[in-house]
Structure 1
């Protein structure tokens, strides 16, 4: 006769097997999301430690853990300062590694093979041209505007503003930084990168190496009958190329797969089918900017170091942007859809270039009229060509349900925007550039529109 323990053993074993099977099923069905998560953590913490020089533990707590949802507790990570790399996993599974290369930023490695262009290139260590001291505003109204930018009105949705810089008519008139950040701290700009990539395309247009109306010179798109063959450079910049809206809710979409799972981002983007005929529909397109980045690489030697030298020589150095880099993929292509690291002052200088129609210190960087082209409207949207505009304030961006513009600001305002509250706001009528950087990961807004409006009021009151 079986004892009580025998009678209970089989049901308990069955429940344990069921629980293990369920857990295995959850893991297997979310493999892509878990691979993306660990790659994202590794790359972000590598860049925090070795590009920005900020506390990676704090960045994990403020930026990455809120994005992990229910698996945040299971993420393990380490930062190796000797080998300048970061690793992460989910309870030892789905390991990911990101390696720092001088002057090129951090690279997500697919496996433990050799690191391409591991030596990188010499870091640019030129001191910031505005000097080391933080420029605190003398005007109480300007101080109030910065107070608005750093306020935390909703503790459940922290803004975590890290930097605000205000340029008026080329003069630095106000700035403020969070503890641990300063005038020379490169901060992840996310999709602000797209606007910088747009400038690199503008340089190639000025040099006669590209035309806006030409079909995109991607080899995979040149076969007879290939539907991509009709896509133009202009359509990639405007995001009406017909490529799909690729940055949707959740951790898995074409954009995250491209960034964290593909060693050659442009090759992946080139394989993506068109969702619409070119020029007929707008869709937010990281894929398109990966292809534009390949065009920059094709013109500069198709290596990470070659592309970075081109960026430095043709754009960053003339503007005095000495604390900026754009990371690359394993194939050497700039990650021009979203992986710029730049100080807030550097991004303000970038905005000033567009106030001055592409001229700095008497040197033309961008084609004449490029700034106007940048903010000219695409289809019926609030998007221009590489920049968001203030030309549409009704309705919302498809898929995201986010407003197109900022109705409290002048209609001629246009801006670069990146995830989690990165902004370069350009107001030609006010000769004003406002940069806001932060880690507003948990929603709730940043207050950038109200901050900029308050700055404009302060300037008028001062005048």
Structure 2
């Protein structure tokens, strides 16, 4: 009997401890379920890759020991993914044609939308371009290498443009030139371009206070924040992507139906223009400004993105998802093929002009990589101007010191990069699922690509 009482008491303690743990981590568990639903919905219906593989490579490593409690179901007839953790914390993400996947909170109704089908042709052609240059092939080998089994890089795609021409590419099994891949915060650089288009059209000014309705009162401390400060992340809003599963950013993405409204009511941490702090909140607000200019509907925003940017560039395998309110998730929820992202990088290499047509304001690319305060960040892009110290909170390097100083790049979680090197007329795109740390090695691989191109040029000159 003593043993039975001891066993019952021990079980009671364990149950109470479990309840307390769940109680303390309710937000984390809600966010975890939502992240699984959103990611696997896009894997199944946007990227058309194996959602089980994506869960194993991307989501399960993020579950911090609770992976055993995660369940998900991909419903291909309804085109949705439902997930739960401990059978209590549930989430649903649905696919909509041309709009990607959308997280639906609780019993909220699914907003209606429309999609205009467009013919898709690839100017790079249907064949995968394998370089003949052995040094260039070796650089691709380096980009796909797995030097540390404990920290897999899981590179999925590398694309190289030189002088505007596709000269090399490689893809992991199950991925190809038409596979949209989650670009994460590379999306911010695309949002920067969309704001640039509105600036060129005269609908926004960089130096104007951001026209956010909630900040209309001059007495509001947010009122003076400019569009420029939102782009540069020195708006005074707090650093919102810190360590741990529950941050201002993850709460905004996975717990709020109206992401921009949440961002707008977030208190300032600093006076505007004084401190740099990584800002998904800022890019949620910039996304709202895009919505204001395009009718405040998901359909209007989608049409603007496609007509003003994606179609002129030939980005036919790209989509930016929206929240339930219809606002673009311009801080981090674009899916795009590596080729499409290379085209986007080329736009900045060509100062915003494609096929003789100006898309971005003159000088917008230079503005994008002009330094913000004393950081290695520009305005929507990272720069190579600071090679000492590290990004606050993350303890990550600002740039890539092995590459030329004029390099600038779009950067996203888990190793998404668009590397632009004006002095080398070069764009390198790397996409992958480097979730478990250890780095991607893309800086060294890009240096090897540059060395290979220099060797080829020198050899050609010697023959002449």
TM-score normalised over the length of structure 1: 0.98
The answer to whether 1:296 aligns with 2:290 is: yes
The answer to whether 1:233 aligns with 2:230 is: no
The answer to whether 1:144 aligns with 2:121 is: no
1:242 and 1:105 map into 2 onto residues whose CA distance is 32
- Structure 2 equivalent of residue 319 of structure 1: 313
Q: 2:170 aligns with which of 176, 183, 186?
A: 176
The answer to whether 1:450 aligns with 2:444 is: yes
Contact 2:234–2:272 (CA<8 Å) still a contact in 1?
Answer: yes
- Structure 2 equivalent of residue 54 of structure 1: 49
2:315 and 2:305 map into 1 onto residues whose CA distance is 10
Q: 1:263 aligns with which of 250, 257, 273?
A: 257
1:206 and 1:175 map into 2 onto residues whose CA distance is 33
The answer to whether 1:80 aligns with 2:80 is: no
Counterparts of residues 334-353 of structure 1 (less than 5 Å)? 334-353=328-347
Q: 1:364 aligns with which of 354, 358, 361?
A: 358
Matched residue SS, 1:62: helix
Q: CA deviation at 1:74?
A: 1.1
Q: Tell me whether 398-407 or 10-19 shows the greater mean CA deviation.
A: 10-19
- Structure 2 equivalent of residue 396 of structure 1: 390
The answer to whether 1:111 aligns with 2:114 is: no
Contact 1:102–1:122 (CA<8 Å) still a contact in 2?
Answer: no
- Structure 2 equivalent of residue 92 of structure 1: 87
Counterparts of residues 373-412 of structure 1 (less than 5 Å)? 373-412=367-406
- Structure 1 equivalent of residue 462 of structure 2: none
- Structure 1 equivalent of residue 418 of structure 2: 424
- Structure 1 equivalent of residue 217 of structure 2: 223
1:109 and 1:279 map into 2 onto residues whose CA distance is 35
2:208 and 2:188 map into 1 onto residues whose CA distance is 20
TM-score normalised over the length of structure 2: 0.97
2:401 and 2:193 map into 1 onto residues whose CA distance is 26
- Structure 2 equivalent of residue 67 of structure 1: 62
How many matched pairs? 457
What is the root-mean-square deviation of aligned Cα atoms in Å? 0.9
Q: CA deviation at 1:21?
A: 1.0
Q: 1:131 aligns with which of 120, 125, 139?
A: 125
The answer to whether 1:30 aligns with 2:28 is: no
Q: Tell me whether 15-24 or 346-355 shows the greater mean CA deviation.
A: 15-24
Once the two structures are superposed, residues 277-330 of structure 1 have per-residue CA deviations (whole angstroms, 9 ceiling, x without a partner) of: 001000000000000000000000111111010000000000000000000000
- Structure 2 equivalent of residue 209 of structure 1: 203
Q: CA deviation at 1:123?
A: 4.5
Contact 2:121–2:314 (CA<8 Å) still a contact in 1?
Answer: no
Contact 1:166–1:173 (CA<8 Å) still a contact in 2?
Answer: yes
1:354 and 1:347 map into 2 onto residues whose CA distance is 11
Matched residue SS, 1:88: strand
1:94 and 1:402 map into 2 onto residues whose CA distance is 33
Q: CA deviation at 1:125?
A: 5.0
Q: CA deviation at 1:106?
A: 0.5
1:11 and 1:377 map into 2 onto residues whose CA distance is 65
Matched residue SS, 2:101: strand
Contact 1:160–1:439 (CA<8 Å) still a contact in 2?
Answer: yes
1:260 and 1:107 map into 2 onto residues whose CA distance is 10
- Structure 2 equivalent of residue 13 of structure 1: 8
The answer to whether 1:45 aligns with 2:40 is: yes
Contact 1:128–1:184 (CA<8 Å) still a contact in 2?
Answer: no
1:38 and 1:316 map into 2 onto residues whose CA distance is 31
Once the two structures are superposed, residues 422-447 of structure 1 have per-residue CA deviations (whole angstroms, 9 ceiling, x without a partner) of: 00000001110000000000000001
Q: CA deviation at 1:45?
A: 0.3
1:122 and 1:317 map into 2 onto residues whose CA distance is 12
Q: Tell me whether 119-128 or 288-297 shows the greater mean CA deviation.
A: 119-128
Deviating 4+ runs (over 4 angstroms): none
